Structure 1
Amino acid sequence: MALPLQNLLHLSVCLVILTSVANAQNCSNCFVHSRASYYPNSHEKGTDHGACGFGTFGATVNGGDVSATSGLYRNGIGCGACYQVRCTNSKYCSNNGVTIVITDQGSGDKTDFILSEHAFSKMAQTADAAATLKSLGVVDIEYRRVSCSYPGKNIKFKIDESSNYPSYLAFAIYYQQGQKDITAVQLCETQSFTCKLLQRSHGAVWTKTSPPSGPLSIRMLFSNGDEAEDTWVVPVNAIPQDWKPGSIYDSGVQVN
Structure 2
Amino acid sequence: MGFSLKFHYCLVSVMVLLPALCYSQDYFVRSRATYYGSPDCLGTPSGACGFGEYGRSVNDANVAGVSRLYKNGTGCGACYQVRCTNPQLCDDNGVNIVVTDYGEGDHTDFILNPRAYARMARSNTAAQLFAYGVVDVEYQRIPCRYGGNKLQLKVHEHSRYPSYLAIVILYQAGKNEIQAIEIWQEDCKQWIGMRRAYGAVFDMANPPQGSISLRFQVSGSAGLTWVQAPNVIPSNWKAGVAYESDIQLE
TM over 0.5: yes
TM-score normalised to structure 1 length: 0.86
Q: Which residue of 1 aligns with 2:138?
A: 142
Q: Tell me the alpha carbon deviations over residues 9-29 of structure 1, each in whole angstroms, 9 at most, x when there is no partner.
A: xxxxxxxxxx79x93896111
Aligned AA for 2:243? Answer: Y
| Alignment equivalent of 1:213, drawn from 178, 197, 209 | 209
Matches within 5 A, 1:1-256: 23=20, 27-126=24-123, 128-189=124-185, 194-224=190-220, 229-235=223-229, 238-256=232-250
Task: Quote the Cα distance in structure 1 between the aligned partners of 2:21 and 2:122.
Answer: 28
**SS, match of residue 232 in structure 2:** coil
Task: Quote the Cα distance in structure 2 between the aligned partners of 1:240 and 1:95.
Answer: 46
Task: Quote the Cα distance in structure 1 between the aligned partners of 2:61 and 2:188.
Answer: 41
The 1:206/1:218 distance shift into structure 2, 3 A limit, reads: same
**SS, match of residue 85 in structure 1:** strand
Task: Quote the Cα distance in structure 1 between the aligned partners of 2:186 and 2:140.
Answer: 39
- Any gaps of 5 or more consecutive residues in structure 2? 1-15
Q: In the TM superposition, what is the alpha-carbon distance from 1:191 to its structure 2 partner?
A: 8.3
- Any gaps of 5 or more consecutive residues in structure 1? 1-18
The 1:94/1:24 distance shift into structure 2, 3 A limit, reads: farther
User: CA RMSD, aligned part only?
Assistant: 2.0
Whether the 8 Å contact between 1:155 and 1:250 is mirrored in structure 2 is: yes
Identity of aligned residues (%): 45
User: What is the number of equivalent residue pairs in this alignment?
Assistant: 234
**SS, match of residue 27 in structure 1:** helix
Whether the 8 Å contact between 1:167 and 1:210 is mirrored in structure 2 is: yes
Q: In the TM superposition, what is the alpha-carbon distance from 1:190 to its structure 2 partner?
A: 6.6
Aligned AA for 1:94? Answer: D
Aligned AA for 1:101? Answer: V
Aligned AA for 1:129? Answer: T
Q: In the TM superposition, what is the alpha-carbon distance from 1:152 to its structure 2 partner?
A: 2.2
Whether the 8 Å contact between 1:84 and 1:144 is mirrored in structure 2 is: yes
The 1:230/1:91 distance shift into structure 2, 3 A limit, reads: same
